[in-house]
A and B are shown apart, each in its own frame.
Chain A
Amino acid sequence: MAASKKLMSVRRDWRERDVRVVLSALIIAVATVATIALFASQLQRTLVTSASSFLAADRQLEAENGREVPESWMQEAESRGLETARMVEFSTMVYGADNFQLVSVKAVNDTYPLRGEVEVQQGATAPRELVSSGPAPGEVWINPRLLRLLNLDVGDSLDVGSLSLTISGLLVREPDGGFRMSSLAPRVMMHASDVPATGVIQEGSRVEYVYLFAGDEDVLNSYHAWLEPRFGPSHEWEGVRDGETFSESLQRAERFLLLGGSLAVMLAAVAVAVASRQYALSQRDTVALLKTLGVNSRGIGTLYLRRLGLWGIVGAIGGLLVALPLFWLLSSVLSDVLERPVDYQLDPNALVPALLTALVSLFAFAYPPIRRLKHVPAMRVLRSQPGESGREAIPDMAIAIVAIFGLVWMYAREVSLVLALLGGLALLLGTLALLGWALVTTLRKISGGGNAWRLALVGLYRHRRASLSQIAVFAMTLMLAATLILVRTSLLDDWQAQLPDDAPNHFLINIAPDSVDQVEDFWAERGQPLRQLYPMVRGRLTELNGNPVREAVSKDERVNALNRELNLTWMDTLPSDNDIIEGQWFEPGQRRGVSIEAELAGKLGVEVGDSLGFTIGSDKVTETVTSIRTVQWDSMKPNFYMAFPPQGGLEDMPATWITAFYLPEDQKSALNEFSRQFPTVSVLEIDHIIERIQEIVQQVTQAIEAILALILAAALVVMAAVVSATMQERQREGALLRTLGGRQTLLVRSTMLEFALLGFFAGILGVIAAEAAVWALQFRMFEGEFRVHWQAILPIPVLSALVLAIFGRWQLKPVLSVSPMLLLRRLE
């Protein structure tokens, strides 16, 4: 009975326009936040799965010492409920149709791969297929290039050691076809159970055993914790987040989603605040009447508090009802892009921020003006009392700002984000105050004249308080939307710049110093000149300031770079995508010193002036750090932790040369000729990896666009809410102006102009504030370079002027379509 009474009262409330706006804003708030949170967690899972497939698992354990790990390690993993797979990689000669070739073998067991798929072809022209297993025992899959090198065909047999296997497919892409120095020769994939019969692996062979694990994140972490004390120096644990290629792109996408979510929260809060203030103003007469009927202040307080609670429930339920189909829609877009079914998972944790948003929006933004209703004097019934002066709204604003940033903080957990938005907002309000002052002083003098421009300016001046608060809200909305658009654009540009269409997709490694010129000539003749070759010396970092480096680095900071040989190089010019953050790059002619990569320097605690000792073969080289530089690991170019000056410490060391270059698909046959002419040079084909990365960037882009569209829709609703908040007054004014003899065209023109001016000012303010916020964000969060977005500075104010003019025209419609007499009666 009580419930139905309450429902009745929501239904009655719904008839009031302002309540409809408050409820709509709440529903939009909850829906946007819930959709983004749900989708973000889905996207997160999908991205991690995609990235995991780069390891063919969630984690990999590599044993580089040629020995298998104790069987108890695997038993432990399985007893913890983790999925496992094993593989072994080694280099060997294969023999087929009278030709020999050095290949890199990967032997996998039945459970491989745990994540991702293997892409194979049944013949050179057959369609590509995705399968989730390796070859069966007795069969072998080989790199298509090997087919041509050995003059073989699918169905022929290939001898690996003393075992003859049947070629049953061409290996186009392996899910873990990562960037590994050991896999330079063409790939051959076989079943692990066939390995002993080949007789290739002997005591002391160069073999790498790799163990794959997949399962629950917590279990993986606890397993790693169990395993870590048992590791030897040659054991390496790799997770998705350690993958240098991907982590940055992933983090940026995640941050963008968080930013989007935070802005959605802010937009929703603005809408709720505006609508509920309007509602409170419209309720003053009702409250005064209730008071004369004997309801005391306390009763009034309880009445409106209950009403708010009810709205909260309706908003939350309504919002979730809107969010779920949207989420499904977005997820199915995602699954189309990925060309694989997405397993829908409703993450209940993702709903918490949505519900909290509803609660905070109601109590921080809607409650304060409504709470003051109980102070409305009963005298108001008899005599109209001065309304709110706006001074009461100042504490409201303070509460609202604290609450907004509380929400953003809860949502993004990112101080710099909160600060950037706060800074943008402060700038906005400051400029607004200036604009308000300018408006009052310059427009005061304008009066008289029946032309639309003057009427519009007079209108702006007369409604100065409403005008300024509308400009504030529009500008805030525009700032949030523009921030998002600008960040999105520069994010996508960054990615595009890192992986342009002609990004290097092949590496040439192991070029002997005396064949460098011939290799360069070979490719220059074929129209694919090599851009830059780097010398490469393999060595280990062993000493830091004269102490063994393992002692110098604290035990809990495991540094991968210390576990393996590093590629050292020398160069005279700094690569364009590297930046010196400390010290000085080598002067021309300088021979001493070393430049270290920034992240490694951070982990080791190395600063400019420290000395580093390297062991290269049997030699030792000691150099002083002269600079620290950042490196774009995801640039797909050769990158080095350590760079020496030319003729420096590395001069007499045995070096080979390395380069990366772009080779179009249709010229791949040149690689066969190259391999024949330079048999000792290794060719590393990473074109399929690049293809995959470009695919993922595209997915993330699509997701970002979808969320952007959602937020822009929310922004439009906020604008509509604010414009329609003054609808009644404007309609009344329009009717009166018509009665007093204002012509329709004049009314239409001046109203549209007035709104266009509002939109233009708001647009300018919004863009300035957005630029400030983007500057801060770019600087702190996305590590990109900031530049002023001139291309956005004009279109946004113009566009917002246009949109608002249309809103204004639309709002005037009821005023123009009926006779002024009817309107006057209705408004009385």
Chain B
Amino acid sequence: MSDLSESYSQNDRPMLKVTNLTHRVSLETDTLTILQGVNLEINRGESVAIVGRSGSGKTTLLGLLAGLDTPSDGQVELDGSVISQLSEDERAKLRSRRVGFVFQSFQLLPALTALENVMLPLELSGSEKPDAKARELLERVGLGERLSHTPRQLSGGEQQRVAIARAFASEPVVLFADEPTGNLDNRTGSEVSDLLMTLNREQGTTLVMVTHDERLAARCGRQFSIEAGVLSEPSSATAQEAVN
């Protein structure tokens, strides 16, 4: 990490600050509002779950928070940088240094082995010894013996563990997870979410997770729910009741 990033991380400002975020997509006939006036502040080291039904706009919100796309209105500030003011390449650079991803459908490259998949972000950020770091992480997620296997030779749970190793490889300050257990059975799902939570705690990463799994959401420090593009933060009590 450079000195510049050190000074950033010691900063007290919130990790993520969302102000009046609105997102619309133009269809052939009319415009569809996906997100409406979202305001949100997430502090360093916090873990946050955004819960909502399919089509509620939660994945779009995650994408905007991570800087994969720019909003129609409002602004997203990620670790001090206003995303809509950055160029495509600057956003890419920001992602490669500070952001990690875990996807519902794993998104491993089928032609690459587990090791190579984990090395990918390290190589993109120009790391000198991507090999050693990737091995270490795969050992950590329990796949030390499966380094040279391709995604096709791994089960769903194993694939997601590779994806988690990849997400932590670049030592991100914030990790975005989109339905990380959505494609897994209950038991595997809880194994994977245990791993995710543990690593998150160990590394001190800020975690933003989108899910419809209330049980998983309950393991996060804060929960938000989203419905028809409007975000609200229920009181912790209500959230606890929902879990019980």
Label chain B's interface by main secondary structure: helix
Pairwise interchain contact A384-B152, C-beta atoms closer than 8 A: yes
In the complex, which range does the number of interface residues on chain B fall in? 35 or more
A726 shortest CB reach to chain B, Å = 10
| Bound form: Cα–Cα A384–B103 in Å | 18
Chain A residues with CB below 8 A from B147, complex form: none
Give Cα A466–Cα B166 distance, bound, in whole angstroms: 24
Provided the pairs A448-B127, A450-B124 are in contact, do residues A744 and B152 lie with their beta carbons within 8 angstroms?
Answer: no
Task: Bits for B122-134, please: 1 = Cβ < 8 Å to A, else 0.
Answer: 1111111111000
In the complex, which of the residues A451, A458, A729, A820 contacts B68, with contact meaning CB atoms closer than 8 Å? Answer: A820
A821 and B95 contact, CB distance less than 8 A: no
* CB-based contact B92/A822 at 8 Å: no
Nearest Cβ on chain B to A748's Cβ, whole angstroms:
11
- The CA of A824 and the CA of B105, in the complex, are separated in Å by 10
Chain B neighbourhood of A451, CB < 8 A: 126
Q: Are B123 and A449 in contact (CB under 8 A)?
A: yes
Q: B91-122: which have CB < 8 Å to A?
A: 92-97, 99, 101, 103-105, 107, 109-112, 116, 119-122
Partner of B63, one of A447, A463, A821: A821
State whether B92 touches A743 (Cβ < 8 A). yes
Instruction: Give Cα distance in the complex from A732 to B106, angstroms.
Output: 13
* Contact assessment for B131 and A732 in the assembled complex, using a CB-CB cutoff below 8 Å: no
- Tell me whether B95 and A740 are in contact (CB under 8 A): yes
Chain B residue contacts of A733, Cβ below 8 A:
109
Nearest Cβ on chain B to A625's Cβ, whole angstroms = 69
When A447-B119, A447-B123, A824-B103 are in contact, do A739 and B68 touch as well, CB less than 8 Å? yes
Q: Which residue of B lies closest to A738 (CB)?
A: B92
Q: What residues on A are CB-neighbors of B95 within 8 Å? A: 739-741
A770 CB–B CB distance under 8 Å: no
A740-B152 contact given A448-B128, A824-B103, CB 8 Å threshold: no
Contact A450 B123 (CB under 8 A): yes
**CB–CB B68/A741 < 8 A:** no
Give the dominant DSSP class at A's interface. helix
Query: Given A384-B152, A462-B111, A819-B69, are A448 and B105 neighbors across the interface (CB < 8 Å)?
Result: no
Contacts of A449 in B (CB 8 A): 123, 126-128
Are A822 and B89 in contact (CB-based, < 8 A)?
Answer: no
Q: Which residues of A contact B105 (CB under 8 A)?
A: 828
Is the Cβ of B93 less than 8 Å from the Cβ of A741? yes
Q: Does B153 contact A (CB under 8 A)?
A: yes
In the complex, the answer to whether B109 meets A746 with C-beta atoms within 8 Å is: no
Contacts A740-B95, A741-B95, A743-B93 hold; do A729 and B107 have CB atoms under 8 A apart? no
B112: nearest residue on chain A (CB-CB)?
A: A462
Q: Which residues of B contact A385 (CB under 8 A)?
A: 152
With A463-B111, A466-B111, A744-B88 known as contacts, the answer to whether A739 contacts B131 (CB < 8 A) is: no
| Proximity bits, A362-386, B CB within 8 Å = 1, else 0 | 0000000000000000000000111
CB pair B89 A447 closer than 8 Å:
no
Q: Say whether A736 faces chain B, with CB atoms less than 8 Å apart.
A: yes
In the A-B complex, the 6 residue pairs with the smallest Cβ-Cβ separation, listed nearest first, are A741-B96, A450-B126, A741-B95, A821-B63, A821-B68, A819-B69
Chain A residues engaging chain B, CB cutoff 8 angstroms: 384-387, 447-451, 454-455, 458, 462-463, 466, 729, 732-733, 736-746, 819-822, 824-825, 828
List the interface of chain B (C-beta within 8 A of A).
59-60, 63, 68-70, 88-89, 92-97, 99, 101, 103-105, 107, 109-112, 116, 119-131, 152-153, 166, 170
Q: A739-B95, A740-B166 are in contact. List 17 more A-B contacts (CB 8 A).
A: A386-B152, A448-B127, A448-B128, A448-B131, A449-B123, A455-B123, A462-B111, A466-B111, A729-B110, A733-B109, A737-B124, A741-B94, A741-B96, A741-B170, A819-B69, A821-B68, A825-B59
